[in-house]
Every structure is written in structure tokens, then in C-alpha cells.
């Protein structure tokens, strides 16, 4: 395999894995923001929670990887329901600034809480044995865990798309995203729908944070550090969409990795310049519906 081709494939591959993690975490945010217009900056907190649940279960209680993932999803989904009922509900349709203040406040509290419970150091994450090592595809081999991430991302986007297009629940979600008032007037219980969607989206974020703990380190400042990435994926992808964040995450993940490889000196600028350009071209995001 020629060297440059090998390098390109390697970069593409790793960028893809990074993109999958971003997608997993951000898709929930896109749908909920599109549906309820709620600026949830604290979305990263759910991803962080998923990561902490996974790493704590695996390292302290020896829980196997697959089970720990399920726990991460469930714990985060349940936690999000509590937060939504108690706090977010009050601010639907309200002033954006209040939403910003509330969710920023939640992020701050999460930083302190995480420091208190788990300490300031980042949590170690060791992929399980059956996923470590290399996957040999004949012409070259790829890191096992990253391959797994790509498969997960692909499986998820397919499942979500099918779910959105083929189920009643998905139909209601699409209706609510397109026109909330009309959806309410045809009898859809939007309040319950939103709680369920929010729980699903946050659970996915928790799952993404857990799966991605190898790439985006789990530490108390997680929600703050990665806030910008998640917002970029959602803004560029477009609100209320499943495909949008996927394409955006691919673009950002692969382009960012590629650009840093080719022109490392300008690596820091690129992702932001790209975001600005894309948003100028398509102000509502690539696939924005809301």
C-alpha cells in the first residue's frame, strides 16, 4: 500500500470514528431543539453523565461493557426526564436568554458535582478485550474499537431514520417538528411526546458520551470543553433533523482531521472558518426544518 494512500485512508477512518461520536451525542440535541425551540446548552452534561456511568461501572464494579452501555443509556434517559419535568418545562416557548441562563447554570453545577463525586482527574476508559486489537481487512488493518464506533454510528442513523419514517412515534415527532401548533390541534399530546423525545435524545447523548469516552475524555469540565463542537454540529446540520447532524458530523469530523493532517499550523482555524462558511451558505443549516 503506498504511503500517502495509506495515510489518507487512516485519516479518513479516524475522522469517521470521531464523526460518529459527535453524531451520537448531537442528534438528540438537534431533534429537541427543532421540536421545542429550547436552547439546551447543557446537552453535554448528559453525554458526560453517560461517560461517568460507564467508566464507574466498568472500573469499579467490573460490569461488562455491553451491560454498562445499556445502563449509561437508561440512567441518562431517566435523569433527563427528571430535569425536564422539574426545570425545562417551565421555559418552553419562553425567552431564549432564560434558557441559556438555566442550562449554563446546570453546566456549572455539573462541573462541581462531578468534581465532588469523581474527583478532578479524567476517568480511565479501557475498551473491552473483544474490541481491542486490530481488525484485519486484508489490505490493511484498523483499530478495533474505532471500527466498532463507526459501525455503531451507521447502525444508529439507520435505526433512527427507519424509526422516524416508519413508526407512529416517528410520525408524531416529524409532525411536531414541522408545526407544533398544528400537531397539538390534531390531538397529539405534544407534552408527553416531548418528554419521550427528550429522554431518547438525552439517552443517546449518554450512550455517545460512554462510547466516545476513549476519544473525548470524561472529566468534570466535559460539558464546557465540548459545548462548541456539539453546537457546531447542530447548527451546521440544521435543527429538527436526523440526517443533518449526520452529514454535519461527517463533514466536521473528517474535514477537521484531514485539515489538521495537511496543514497543522492552520488546524485551529479551519473548523471555525468552515462553520462560518457553511452557515453563510445555508443559514438554516444543511437540512434545517424547524
Partner 1 sequence: MIGRRSAAASIAVALMSLAIVARPAPAQTVVKVGLISSYTGFVAQAGDQAQKAIDLYLKEHDKDLPPGVKLEILRRDDTANPEVAKRLAQELITRDHVQLLTGVILSPAAAAIAPLTAEAKVPLLISIAAGGSAIPRISPYVARVSFTLWQQGYPIGKWAAEQGWKKAFTAVSDFIPGHDSEVSFTKGFTDSGGQIAGAVRMPPQNPDFVPFVQRIRDAKPDVVFIWVPSVQGTAFVKAIRDLGLRDAGVQITSAQDLLPDEQLPAMGDTPLGVITSGIYSTAGERPTNTAFLAAWQREYADTAIPNFLSVGAWDGMTAIFDLIKATKGKFTADEAMSFFKGWQNPDSPRGPIMIDPDTRDIVQNIYIRRVDKLEGRLANVEIATIPQVKDPWKELNPAK
Partner 2 sequence: MATEGLVRPRLAAGPPPAQQAIDAFAGRHRYRLLEALPWAAAVAAYFLFPSYLPLGAQILATILFALSADLVLGYAGIVTLGHAAFFGTGAYTAGILAANGWGEPISGLFAGAAIAALIGFVSGCIVLRTTGLTLLMQTLVVATLLYEAANKASWITGGDDGLQGMEVWPIFGQFRFDMFGRTGYLYCLIVLFLCWYLARRIVHSPFGRSLTGIRENVRRMHAIGAPVRRRRLIIYTISAALAGTAGALIAQTTGFVGLSFLNLERSGGVLIMLIIGGVGRLYGAFIGVPLYMIAQNRFSEIEPVYWYFWIGLLMVLVVVFARGGILGLVERLRR
Q: Would you tell me which residues interact with partner 1 (CB under 8 A)?
A: 3, 7, 10-11, 14-15, 18, 115, 119-124, 126, 143, 146, 214-217, 220-221, 225-226, 229, 257-258, 260-261, 264-265, 267-268
* Cell 460512554 belongs to residue: 210
Q: Report the sign of the C-alpha dihedral through residues 176, 23, 127, 130, in that order.
A: positive
34 versus 51: smaller Cβ distance to partner 1: 51
Stretch (H or E) spanning 136: strand 134-136
Q: Shortest CA distance to 46 belongs to which of 240, 214, 202?
A: 202
CA distance 181 to 262: 49
61 versus 280: smaller Cβ distance to partner 2: 280
**Least gap, CB of 102 to partner 2 (angstroms):** 4
CA distance 241 to 289: 7
**Least gap, CB of 142 to partner 2 (angstroms):** 32
Residue 235 interaction partner, one of partner 1, partner 2, none, beta carbon < 5-8 Å per kind: partner 2
DSSP 143: E
Residue 98 three-state SS = helix
Q: Which residues make up the interface to partner 2 (CB under 8 A)? A: 33, 39, 87, 90-91, 95-98, 100-102, 104-113, 115-116, 120, 227-228, 231-232, 234-235, 239, 268-269, 272-273, 275-276, 279-280, 283-285
CA distance 28 to 234: 9
**Least gap, CB of 76 to partner 2 (angstroms):** 19
Residue 255 interaction partner, one of partner 1, partner 2, none, beta carbon < 5-8 Å per kind: none
Amino acid at each position: 500500500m503506498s504511503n500517502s494512500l495509506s495515510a489518507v485512508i487512516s485519516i479518513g477512518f479516524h475522522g469517521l470514528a470521531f464523526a460518529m461520536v459527535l453524531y451520537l451525542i448531537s442528534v438528540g440535541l438537534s431533534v429537541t431543539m427543532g421540536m421545542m425551540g429550547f436552547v439546551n446548552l447543557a446537552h453535554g452534561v448528559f453525554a458526560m453523565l453517560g461517560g461517568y456511568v460507564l467508566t464507574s461501572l466498568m472500573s469499579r464494579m467490573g460490569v461488562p461493557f455491553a451491560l454498562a452501555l445499556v445502563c449509561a443509556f437508561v440512567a441518562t434517559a431517566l435523569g433527563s426526564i427528571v430535569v425536564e419535568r422539574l426545570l425545562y418545562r417551565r421555559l418552553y416557548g419562553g425567552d431564549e436568554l432564560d434558557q441559556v441562563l438555566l442550562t449554563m447554570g446546570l453546566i456549572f453545577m455539573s462541573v462541581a458535582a462531578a468534581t465532588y463525586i469523581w474527583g478532578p482527574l479524567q476517568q480511565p476508559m479501557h475498551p473491552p478485550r473483544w474490541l481491542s486489537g486490530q481488525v484485519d481487512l486484508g489490505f490493511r488493518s484498523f483499530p478495533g474499537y474505532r471500527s466498532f464506533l463507526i459501525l455503531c454510528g451507521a447502525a444508529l442513523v439507520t435505526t433512527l431514520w427507519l424509526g422516524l419514517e416508519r413508526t407512529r412515534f416517528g410520525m408524531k415527532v416529524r409532525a411536531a417538528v414541522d408545526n407544533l401548533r398544528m400537531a397539538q390541534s390534531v390531538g397529539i399530546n405534544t407534552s408527553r411526546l416531548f418528554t419521550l423525545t427528550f429522554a431518547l435524545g438525552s439517552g443517546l447523548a449518554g450512550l455517545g458520551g460512554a462510547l466516545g469516552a476513549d476519544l473525548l475524555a470524561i472529566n468534570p469540565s466535559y460539558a464546557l470543553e465540548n459545548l462548541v463542537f456539539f453546537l457546531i454540529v447542530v447548527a451546521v446540520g440544521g435543527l429538527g433533523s436526523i440526517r443533518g447532524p449526520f452529514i454535519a458530523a461527517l463533514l466536521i469530523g473528517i474535514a477537521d482531521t484531514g485539515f489538521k493532517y495537511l496543514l497543522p499550523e492552520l488546524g485551529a482555524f479551519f473548523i471555525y472558518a468552515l462553520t462560518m462558511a457553511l452557515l453563510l451558505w445555508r443559514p438554516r443549516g444543511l437540512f434545517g426544518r424547524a
